[in-house]
Amino acid sequence: MQLPTLREIFEAHDRLGSDKWTTYFGAYDDHFARFRERPITLLEIGIQNGGSLEIWAKYFANATRIVGCDIDEKCRDLTFEDPRISVVIGDANSANSYQAVTSDVAAFDIVIDDGSHLVSDVIQSFALYFPKVKPGGVYVIEDLHTSYWEGFGGGSDLDLSSMGFLKLLADVVNKEFWRDDRVGFNLLQNYASRYDVAVNDAGLEIDEVAFGNSVCIIRKKVLDGEENRRHITGNVFKVLDYTEVKPLSGSKELLNSLHITRNLMPATARQAEFVQLSATTLENVRRIEQLDAELRTVSTSANEALTQAQQEIASANDALASVNDALAHARQEIASLKNSYSWRLTAPLRYMRLTTPLRYVKAVFRH
């Protein structure tokens, strides 16, 4: 029987809300097909309204545990009818949440990071939870468009972004062909230092990194002991003759005879240059952060001085306003005094007091 697609389940869903991009549906149908009917465990970082957990429960009908983790306290009030679903409240990258998630379910077939999408969180979550993916399981990162956005700690030309990190994981897939055994060499060193995480290409067993629009799916290698060997079949070799080496097909000797060696080649010049360039980028990023902090300090004190000057102007304006009030009050009092009956009644007296001496002076001069 044909199982319903993720899109069909998503569109028919009628309980808690969920928010996914169209391009994820096909990518998930392709990469999750082998898990559809298995008793898997799944972790989703960032659940918001909780609907995606319900949708995963329908999509993986035989899943045994579906765990969500969200930093938002409001997620505590979400209720789920399916007993396989549980939620941990807290920052997925904190020790407490990590403990709560992993003490309950020891390892996951699928981990989906749909959390903050900040570059620092994406890389810290990968460093924490990729080790908890079962061999053959997948680690998924959604909304990678944020890797190009400054507000999320990214940038389109920034090596130290989520996409920059994931592109290096594509090299990790092929590490048997380039990795050398120099002590301390770590292709991911700059990310480890920048985001303060223990992530080292030497410890990562990855056999596929698939990129879709805004999504990356990383598959953990199954360590079944089988080495990658070169195999030769067929009997007709018209272009390059393998007749002599064909009996060695699939053996280490064949690799040697074809001059393919592994774990012996030094890191390529490009990788060394990349590590050097990234170190310079890291230095520049640190300098920018330092200048930014200095700028913030200067602008804080300038703002404080401005606030103080504004306060002083405001109190001078208050003082001026009270002087003006007092003046207006005095004028009003003078006006009402002049309009008063007693002022008008005493007007002749004031007139006489003024005019009598004048008249006397005039009389003296006339005679």
Ligand X SMILES: C[S@@+](CC[C@H](N)C(=O)[O-])C[C@H]1O[C@@H](n2cnc3c(N)ncnc32)[C@H](O)[C@@H]1O
Binding residues for ligand X, rule: CB under 6 A, are: 18-20, 44-48, 51-52, 69-72, 91-93, 114-116, 121
Spatial neighbors of 137 by CB under 8 A, at least 6 apart, are 107, 108, 109, 110, 111, 219, 220
135/109 Cα distance (integer angstroms): 8
Burial string for 238-264 (b: 16+ CB within 10 Å, else e) reads: eeeebeebeebeeeeebbeeeeeeeee
Is the Cβ of residue 18 or residue 278 nearer to ligand X in the bound state?
Answer: 18
**Dihedral sign for Cα atoms in the order 313, 317, 318, 319:** positive
Q: Closest distance between ligand X and the C-beta of residue 50, in Å?
A: 8
138/73 Cα distance (integer angstroms): 28
Is the Cβ of residue 6 or residue 40 nearer to ligand X in the bound state?
Answer: 6
Q: Closest distance between ligand X and the C-beta of residue 217, in Å?
A: 16
Spatial neighbors of 136 by CB under 8 A, at least 6 apart, are 109, 219, 220, 221, 222
| Cα distances (angstroms) measured from residue 203 to each of 221, 271, 284 | 12, 18, 28
Nearest to 51 by CA among 92, 89, 94, 81: 81
41/106 Cα distance (integer angstroms): 9
User: By beta-carbon distance, which residue lies closest to ligand X?
Assistant: 46
Beta bridge pairs of residue 111: 43, 139
Is the Cβ of residue 56 or residue 165 nearer to ligand X in the bound state?
Answer: 56
223/195 Cα distance (integer angstroms): 29
User: Where would I find the beta strands (DSSP E) of 143-290?
Assistant: 206-212, 215-220
Is the Cβ of residue 44 or residue 201 nearer to ligand X in the bound state?
Answer: 44
Q: Closest distance between ligand X and the C-beta of residue 88, in Å?
A: 9
Is the Cβ of residue 18 or residue 214 nearer to ligand X in the bound state?
Answer: 18
Is the Cβ of residue 127 or residue 187 nearer to ligand X in the bound state?
Answer: 127
Is the Cβ of residue 66 or residue 92 nearer to ligand X in the bound state?
Answer: 92
Is the Cβ of residue 128 or residue 218 nearer to ligand X in the bound state?
Answer: 128
329/337 Cα distance (integer angstroms): 12
Q: Closest distance between ligand X and the C-beta of residue 96, in Å?
A: 11
